[in-house]
Structure 1
Amino acid sequence: MPRQLTVLPAPDSPDAVLTTVLPAVRAALDGGAPLAVLPAGPAAAAAREVLAPGEPLEDGADLVVVTSGSTGGGRGVLLPAAALRASATATLDRLGGPGTWLLALPVPAIAGLQVLCRSVLAGTEPTVLRAGEPLAEAVTRTGGDRRYTALVPTQLRRYLEREPAALRAFDAVLVGGAATDPGLLARAREEGVAVVTTYGMTETAGGCVYDGVPLDGVRVRVDDEGIAVAGPVLALGYRRDPRGTAEAFTGGEFRTRDAGSIGPDGRLTVTGRLDDVVVTGGVNVAPQAVEGALREHPSVADAVVFGRPDEEWGQRVVAAVVPAPGAVPELGALRPWVVERLGGPSAPRELHLLETVPTLHTGKPDRRAVAAAVEDRA
């Protein structure tokens, strides 16, 4: 008889994470009721529609996670307990053994759920960061011989500016969910933070490549169609979407649609989404690289880069930036800054100012929302 999916609302407090979500994750890992956790806010209704809790669940799925929809509509990713366990076990092995985790990410997303999975397998109870709580205070509540946490780049940047000593208290700070600027990583390491970059997605049960090196059992290759991942961490496919499953999961691999390369040392370098590439004057420009360069400018606190149609260039590079405190970024200053670092085609030809960068429920920048807002202004 097909199993039915248990859908939990987004937890509204740290206590709800520990008393409701954590036990449900533990049960799902042990073959109990299949689980999904809704995102907070307006995204919940769309996620519930994707999850279709009243419909029979596909065989083998123990956790269903709705993606952020950063490149289109969100999908329900079908994860077996074996994939979640393989990912969590390989992570703990790579980091040096079990420890106590600080949960600083939303649990409806795979990165937050994996913090709970790793805690279950380590036999420890995670500490949940409270809304508005200083990181240093959360660290004092995180016991154990080894302490870990997982952040998105925006969080790392904020804590590095405000509480670098608190970051140094962790034996490892995993950073993923979006590209991390090389300059930010360099500053973190100079401050003595044990930062580890992670690459992965919901379809790979979270991060599966750490500092460019695949986790044990994970295989990665790159071709003209992007990065392909294989190994025990793969999802089964997509909820009620056999066609999408067949297209993305083929030959025992998941096709990520991310661009990248593998260096002579075997390390993977990810250069961005194939879908996000801006083709301007016949040259491919990776928005993530431009964003990284812009964030290094003293007048820029954050940036999102995308393309807009242009009669002369095909597409023009557009930058939407959050000004640094007291600064007023100007296109005339930002263009030569980017040219010096990435070359002329990467330099933005249009600039818009933002108060803040909107994010998806996973914590990733909502590039589509920014582009839509710019279109509305135009």
Structure 2
Amino acid sequence: MPTSADPPPYPGPVLDLLAAAGDRAVFEHGARRVGGARLLSLVHRIAAGLRAAGVGPGSGVAMMVGVTPEAFAAILAAHVVGARVAGVRPGLAGDHLRDILRRDVDVVVTDAAAPPAAPRVLTVDALLAAPDGAGPPPLAARPGDVARLIYTSGSTGRPKACAQTYAALSAAWTARPDAWPPVIRDLATRLDRHLVFGSLSSQVMMEYGVLALAAGGTMVVPDSPALPDALVRHRASSSVITVARLRRLVAGQRRAPVDLSGLRALMVSGSPIDAGALREARDVLGPVVFHGYGQTETGMISMAGPSDVSGSVGHPPDAVDVVVRGPDGAPVPAGVDGELFVRTPAQAIGYWADPAETAEVFTDGWVRTRDLGHLDADGRLYLTGRTRDVIIVNANLYYAGPIERVLAGHPDVAEAYVVAAPDEATGEAAHAFVVPADGRAPDLDALRGLVAAQVGQECAPATITIIDAVPLAASGKPDKGALAAGAARSPGRAGP
């Protein structure tokens, strides 16, 4: 039974925010400005439609929706009826999509055309046309039920479905200002007009949208997400941004600056950003860059605000536990790199229908992140690489992260990515891909020498390839698989 200390059940806090907003516009979609009360009415109507269709606790619902007030309402409505919601990203590869739809999905809810492999399909329009219930529907979920399946990016193979319970969603702080850590309280003051794009099936887009709602802001859907145009055209104060897009925005502002005086927050998501690039972004754009660190399995682990030390991802909140462990599993001292193990209030309970992978990652209440990093003496968290992002040279294991940081720290390099590829002489070798800094031509021999001097001769890239931009996976993260495939086809040992 809940106690007075328990957080209210999800999605109750979000519905309360909509009710409190009343006629205040919480969603701007083209010429439409939708108030909180209107959006809450959409939630109630769609929930009634789902119930009439037999969707309730234990039902598996795949959400294939874009970014509209109705999409936002549909996701909340599925939680109102207690369903297990799986968000499906746009652009997901056919095999991955078919795999998701085979994983205990009873119905697909969509605001577009359903894929051929879909089971039963309910459109958002049809749900809205269903008879409305008498008054607000009750919350049907049980705390231990799985509330949503959040899919990993699949960057290391088949996407895994992280199973998050209703109890974990209720414990999350996003919709509860009283539980916000200090850096989030600062961020919340900057979300007056927050750009949302892509799909609200994305965990990141949905949660920052809810945060903007809780902060009294408006979610704004751009007609095109291209930056900086969308920021200017929609007078946006904030947006989520990947590292690659941030670098392009900074380079563009150096070449041909536009007025971004209304911009107050860019939340970097998806991959780490090196300290030099972060300092440049803050120099060019001002104190607006927030660098978050989290995983699909855990939600947010830590976030650095504009005034935090460059290179760190800030102080983990009090509600989050972080332990750095060495190869023997024992905690290591401050300043020493190791693998990060974390516990968060809203973490997943495991991977859906995958007990073997669950046992490897979810251990004794901790989540094994497979990220490398350290805590400094003041408790700031630093990321240094991935445990599986390795190159095995002459039977010795080396991590790609330190090589990438050396390359990206050179003034002629904007981005650097390192992958392993087979090598006849050494078993594997490092292969680097670099995006030049604006208008510069990196000296490739000098870059190889820099890596050899700072990391070791065996880590010096066998090849360095100049690219205009890193290929991206459907998740928006750098697609190292595509880079590795290119490196494997070109196993040369010298120069570009």
Q: Is the pair's TM-score, using the shorter chain for normalization, greater than 0.5?
A: yes
**Cα distance in structure 2, aligned partners of 1:274 and 1:334:** 24
Residue 62 in structure 1 maps to residue 147 in structure 2: yes
**Cα distance in structure 2, aligned partners of 1:352 and 1:87:** 43
Contact 1:172–1:195 (CA<8 Å) still a contact in 2? yes
Alignment of 1:216-227 (within 5 A): 216-224=318-326, 226-227=339-340
- Give 1:234 shift: 0.5
User: Partner residue of 1:118?
Assistant: 211
- Give 1:371 shift: 0.3
- Give 1:30 shift: 4.7
Contact 1:321–1:352 (CA<8 Å) still a contact in 2? yes
- Give 1:327 shift: 5.9
Distance 1:346 1:129, change over 3 A: farther
Distance 1:106 1:156, change over 3 A: farther
Contact 1:87–1:208 (CA<8 Å) still a contact in 2? no
Structure 1 range deviating more: 346-355 or 271-280 = 346-355
Distance 1:196 1:140, change over 3 A: same
Alignment of 1:197-236 (within 5 A): 197-210=291-304, 211-224=313-326, 226-236=339-349
Determine which of 219, 228, 239 is the counterpart of 1:149: 239
Structure 1 range deviating more: 48-57 or 167-176 = 48-57
User: Partner residue of 2:72?
Assistant: 22
Give the TM-score normalised by the residue count of structure 1.
Answer: 0.84
Alignment of 1:139-288 (within 5 A): 139=232, 141-142=234-235, 147-163=237-253, 169-191=262-284, 192-210=286-304, 211-224=313-326, 226-280=339-393, 284-288=397-401
User: Partner residue of 2:159?
Assistant: 74
Give the TM-score normalised by the residue count of structure 2.
Answer: 0.65
Contact 1:152–1:176 (CA<8 Å) still a contact in 2? yes
SS, match of residue 359 in structure 2? helix
Matched letter for residue 74 of structure 1: P
**Cα distance in structure 2, aligned partners of 1:63 and 1:315:** 40
Distance 1:190 1:327, change over 3 A: closer
Query: RCO (CA 8 Å, sep 6+): is it higher in 1 or 2?
Result: 1
**Cα distance in structure 2, aligned partners of 1:367 and 1:271:** 17
- Give 1:229 shift: 0.8
Alignment of 1:328-347 (within 5 A): 329=442, 331-339=444-452, 342-347=455-460
**Cα distance in structure 2, aligned partners of 1:166 and 1:53:** 47
User: Partner residue of 1:367?
Assistant: 480
- Give 1:64 shift: 1.6
**Cα distance in structure 1, aligned partners of 2:164 and 2:261:** 33
Contact 2:96–2:158 (CA<8 Å) still a contact in 1? no
Structure 1 range deviating more: 1-10 or 259-268 = 1-10
User: Partner residue of 2:221?
Assistant: 128
**Cα distance in structure 2, aligned partners of 1:314 and 1:360:** 27
Distance 1:123 1:327, change over 3 A: closer
**Cα distance in structure 2, aligned partners of 1:10 and 1:374:** 36
Residue 5 in structure 1 maps to residue 56 in structure 2: no
- Give 1:365 shift: 0.5
User: Partner residue of 1:41?
Assistant: 91
Distance 1:32 1:65, change over 3 A: same
After superposition, what is the alpha-carbon deviation per residue over 1:185-204, rounded to whole angstroms, capped at 9, x for unaligned?
11122232322221111111
Give identity over the alignment, percent.
32
Matched letter for residue 190 of structure 1: D
Distance 1:357 1:50, change over 3 A: same
User: Partner residue of 2:331?
Assistant: none
In structure 1, stretches of 5+ residues that fail to align are 12-16
Cα RMSD after superposing both structures: 3.2
Structure 1 range deviating more: 352-361 or 232-241 = 352-361
Structure 1 range deviating more: 213-222 or 124-133 = 124-133
**Cα distance in structure 2, aligned partners of 1:9 and 1:333:** 48
After superposition, what is the alpha-carbon deviation per residue over 1:218-237, rounded to whole angstroms, capped at 9, x for unaligned?
11111025211112021121
SS, match of residue 58 in structure 2? coil
**Cα distance in structure 2, aligned partners of 1:92 and 1:117:** 16
User: Partner residue of 1:94?
Assistant: 183
Answer with 1 or 2: which has the greater Rg. 2
Matched letter for residue 184 of structure 2: L
- Give 1:280 shift: 3.4
**Cα distance in structure 1, aligned partners of 2:421 and 2:489:** 13
**Cα distance in structure 2, aligned partners of 1:35 and 1:352:** 42
User: Partner residue of 1:14?
Assistant: none
Matched letter for residue 472 of structure 2: T
Distance 1:260 1:19, change over 3 A: same
Contact 1:300–1:324 (CA<8 Å) still a contact in 2? yes
User: Partner residue of 1:376?
Assistant: 489
Contact 2:301–2:320 (CA<8 Å) still a contact in 1? no
SS, match of residue 297 in structure 2? helix
- How many corresponding residue pairs? 370
**Cα distance in structure 2, aligned partners of 1:280 and 1:341:** 17
- Greater share of helix: 1
Contact 1:31–1:62 (CA<8 Å) still a contact in 2? no
SS, match of residue 267 in structure 2? strand
Matched letter for residue 79 of structure 1: Q
Distance 1:328 1:172, change over 3 A: closer
SS, match of residue 359 in structure 1? coil
Contact 2:222–2:230 (CA<8 Å) still a contact in 1? no
After superposition, what is the alpha-carbon deviation per residue over 1:118-169, rounded to whole angstroms, capped at 9, x for unaligned?
23444544123443544354355356xxx43322111111111224766663
